[in-house]
């Protein structure tokens, strides 16, 4: 891989990871309720933190765990192979090839546990950012 290809890969990764929250905030700033809050006399800080930030970050927080877990699982094997590291991704891959089922199940268990913890943290962050969201009062 030459230097130009690396630069392009890094640029694509930055665009995918950085542009989403910014785009969400810019989309929210243009909405009607933001103009209404400004017309009511709210300060710019109140408008940004109480209205724009909450609504813009909800989508980012909801999408983060899926992206993180996906990158963590697929990136583990790739990074460990490229940099000759020993880790769970390579261990799981080699155990599948060697049909070492207890190790396969152990790596799957650890990766699943990490995924569940990330989703739990996401849900807690969701309720912290916007207290209007309540997981207790759901109708069946």
pLDDT in tens, the chain (140 residues): 566 667 666 665 555 554 567 777 777 888 888 888 888 888 888 888 888 887 777 777 777 777 777 777 777 777 778 878 788 888 888 999 999 999 999 988 988 888 888 888 888 887 887 777 776 766 65
With 0.85 as the threshold, say if the pTM is over it. Answer: no
Task: Give the model's pLDDT for residue 92.
Answer: 86
Q: State residue 9's pLDDT score.
A: 61
Q: What is the per-residue DSSP string for 32-60?
A: HHHHHHHHTT--HHHIIIIIIIHHHHHHH
Phi-psi region of 8 (alpha: psi -120 to 50; beta: other; left: phi over 0): alpha
Q: Where are the alpha helices (DSSP H) in the chain?
A: 3-29, 32-39, 44-46, 54-82, 88-97, 101-129
Residue of 106, 125, 102 whose CA lies nearest to 114: 106
Q: What is the pLDDT of residue 105?
A: 94
**Is there a contact between 127 and 54 (Cβ–Cβ < 8 Å)?**
no
Structure confidence at residue 55 (pLDDT): 79
pLDDT for 80: 79
Q: By the 8 A CB rule, do 24 and 56 touch? A: yes
Distances from the Cα of 123 to the Cαs of 1, 67, 127, in angstroms?
40, 15, 6
């Amino acid at each position: 891989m030459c230097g130009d290809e690396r630069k392009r890969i890094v640029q694509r990764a930055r665009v995918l990871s950085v542009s989403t929250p910014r785009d969400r905030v810019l989309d929210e700033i243009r909405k009607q309720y933001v103009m209404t809050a400004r017309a009511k006399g709210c300060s710019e800080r109140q408008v940004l933190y109480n209205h724009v930030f909450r609504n813009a970050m909800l989508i980012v927080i909801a999408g983060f765990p899926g992206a993180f877990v996906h990158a963590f699982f697929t990136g583990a094997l790739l990074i460990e192979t490229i940099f000759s590291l020993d880790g769970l991704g390579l261990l799981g891959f080699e155990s599948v090839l060697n049909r070492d089922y207890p190790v396969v199940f152990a790596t799957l268990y650890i990766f699943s546990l990490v995924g569940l913890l990330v989703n739990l943290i996401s849900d807690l962050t969701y309720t912290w950012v916007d207290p209007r969201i309540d997981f207790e009062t759901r109708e069946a």
